[in-house]
Amino acid sequence: MQLLTYLEERKKLIDEELDQYLPQHGHAPERLREAMRHSVFAGGKRLRPILTMAASEAMGKGKELVLPAACALEFIHTYSLIHDDLPAMDDDDLRRGKPTCHKVYGEATAILAGDALLTLAFEVISNNRMIAHISGDTIAEVVRIVASGAGAAGMVGGQIADLEAEGQPVDAETMLYIHSRKTGALFQAALGAGALLAGADESALSAFKRYGDQFGLAFQITDDILDVEGDTELIGKPAGSDEKNAKATYPSIYGLEQSYRMAEESVAQAVDALRVFPERAEPLRQIARYLLTRSF
C-alpha cells in the first residue's frame, strides 16, 4: 500500500463531501457561509476523517458508509481551530498558512462560523441513517461518543486546562491530562465513530481505543517536535511559537531526543493494539508510523 497516495485519495474524497455538506448559496447568510468555507478549505490534512474511514475499513466495511460521520469530525476540528485562534484564546493571525477566520471576517463572525460548524457536525451524523440505513440506536451512540470527545470531558475540557496552565510550571502529568483531552479525545471519537458504524463489538472498540490513545500521544509529541524543528512554511504557523508562549511541551520537559523516542514508543504501541486485525488494518498501522516522518 502506498500511504501517500492513500492519504491523497482520501483527502480528495473528504473535500468533495465536505463541500456538499456545507450550506449552499441561499441556505445560510452569505458572510457566515464564506467564513465556514474559508476555514474548512484552508488546507487541513483531514486526519480525523481519514481515521474514521480507516477504522471502518479495518472492520471490513466500506469507507463510504462512514463519510457523513467522517465529515462531522472535520467540522468539529475546524470549529475548534477557529475558536482556538480567537484573541480571547491563542490570538493567532495564521492557521494552515492562511489568515485566521477572525482576521478575515471579524471576531463575531468567526465565533458564529465555529458555532455553525459544531452544530452542522451533528446534523450531518444523523444523515448516516439515511444514506446507509444505520439504526437509530447506533446513530445515538455515535452522537454520544462524538459529543463527549468534543465536550467538557474531552477537547473543550483540555482546552480550558491548557488556558489555565498558561504561565505556570506544568509537570508531565498535567501535560498528559491536557493533551489527551485537547488533542487525543477527538482522535478517539473519530476512530470510535468509524468503528461503531462498521459494527465493532466491545473487544474491537477497545483495540481502537488503545490505538487512539497512543496515536493521540504520538501526534502531540511530533506536533511539539515540529514546533521546534519544523519549517514555518510547511507547518503553516511560526515555528518556535510554543517556546515564545511559554507552553509546556514534550521537548521542553524531556528534550528533543527523548521526545522522539517517546513518539516511537507510542507508535509501536498503537501498531501493537491492532495486532488482532488482519491486513485490512494496514492503513491505520501506516498512518501511525507516518507520524514519525511527517513534516507538517
Question: What residues are paired with 98 via a beta bridge?
Answer: 95
CB nearer to ligand GRG: give 12 or 45. Answer: 45
Determine the residue with CB nearest ligand GRG. Answer: 44
CB of 279 to ligand GRG, least distance (A): 26
CA proximity to 70, closest of 47, 42, 36: 47
CB nearer to ligand GRG: give 159 or 266. Answer: 159
CB nearer to ligand GRG: give 62 or 87. Answer: 87
CB of 207 to ligand GRG, least distance (A): 23
CB of 232 to ligand GRG, least distance (A): 14
- Sequential DSSP letters for 117-184: HHHHHHHHHTHHHHHH---HHHHHHHHHHHHHHHSTTTHHHHHHHHHHHTTS---HHHHHHHHIIIII
CB of 80 to ligand GRG, least distance (A): 4
CB nearer to ligand GRG: give 62 or 244. Answer: 244
CB of 182 to ligand GRG, least distance (A): 5
In the complex, the residues that contact ligand GRG under the rule CB under 6 A are 44-45, 47, 77, 80-81, 83-84, 96, 155-156, 159, 182-183, 223
Rounded-to-integer distance, Cα 63 and Cα 209, Å = 19
Our CA dihedral for 183, 188, 193, 195, rounded to 10 degrees, sits at 150
Rounded-to-integer distance, Cα 54 and Cα 284, Å = 6
Measure the N-to-C terminal CA separation of the chain; round to a whole number of Å.
Answer: 21
What is residue 98's three-state secondary structure?
A: strand
CB nearer to ligand GRG: give 109 or 183. Answer: 183
